[in-house]
Amino acid sequence: MNIHANDGISQSGVDALTQAGFTITTTNVAQEQLVDYINENNIVGLLVRSATTARKELIDACPGLKLIGRGGVGMDNIDVAYAREKGLHVINTPAASSASVAELVFAHLFGAVRFLYDANRNMPLDGETKFKALKKAYAGGIELRGKTLGIIGFGRIGQATAKIALGLGMDVAAYDPFMKEATVAVDFFNGQSVDIAIKTRSFDEVLAQSDFITLHVPAQDKPTIGAAELSKMKKGAGLINAARGGVVDEKALAEALDSEHLAFAALDTFVNEPTPAIKLLMHPKISLTPHIGAATKEAQDRIGTELAQQISELLG
């Protein structure tokens, strides 16, 4: 049986599928040509990440398709309910990239509290001639230890983020409408582990009490954080979105940064991917990455092997 990974798959995933008797192709096919490619090559399983969509039209036009897999967590680029209604298996890898996304959150957070996002822009331009001025400009950094990290959405990725925060000596203020309490295991290099129980707080409590807030929620019909929510955050707080574009009102965010109500923001996802708003890209108080939360070798290996295992169980 033929499996096509249109947005790529790790070599470990290719190897696992091949060993299970599947033929795997990884050629990136343009969205408008994908239906023809699937039908002409008798593809039974389509694997995507965030770039390729699998909507009703594609599902209807590809009667030989038996499975659609998303290499990652969110499946907002797939018409999941319709696909399942038509008898297709729809799978994803909800746990595989949690640690990678959590580490990216802290890459942004460490960089933001020491102004690295701005220093890395200005040092190549002015480091030789304005070194002392830049040193003074970036002299007001802060430490993360003892600060409160607000986590909105306390599923796998939210809890993975909490593990790092707890290890750094931060307080964790978590909000999740479906959870009252969770036990987070903070693991150490030598195999030891400490279990810490975290009771979730109300949404408004997290907004008001947090020094920094990070979002880990699915795609929403309207922003989770808009102007009203931003106004409830601490003055001088920071906001990180490594979840989905649209969960933060980008216009309201820019205004909160311009008014200095927020000290900084960090964005890995955007409303208009792959063409984010230029105002965000040029904003001096925003740390930017191009939707790379799950883009580590380790995460992609886990995603590939987890997809292969599920495909073997469902189609083997």
Phi, psi (degrees; rounded to nearest 5) at 125: -85, -45
Is 291 noted as a catalytic residue in this protein? yes
Catalytic residue among 283, 291, 302, 306: 291
Contact call for residues 260 and 254 (beta carbons, < 8 A): no
Backbone φ/ψ region at 115: left (φ over 0), alpha (ψ -120 to 50), beta: left
In degrees to the nearest 10, what's the CA dihedral of 27, 31, 33, 34? Answer: 60
Tokens of 231: 């106004």
Give the CA distances from residue 134 to residues 102, 115, 263, in Å, rounded to whole numbers and listed in that order: 30, 11, 18
Residue whose entry in the numeric block shows the structure tokens 């050629």: 27
Catalytic (active site) residue 89: no
DSSP 312: H
Helices 116-126 + 98-113 axis angle, to 10 = 60
CA distance 127 to 121: 10
DSSP 54: B
Q: Which of 244, 250, 283, 302 is catalytic?
A: 244
CB 239 within 8 A of CB 262: yes
Q: Report yes or no: 65 and 46 within 8 Å, Cβ to Cβ.
A: yes
Known active-site residue 4 = no
Amino acid 86 reads K
10 exposed, middle or buried (CB, 10 Å; 0-12, 13-18, 19+)? Answer: buried
Name the region of 229 (left: φ>0; alpha: ψ -120 to 50; beta: rest): alpha
Q: Are 7 and 49 in contact (CB under 8 A)?
A: yes
Catalytic residues: 244, 273, 291
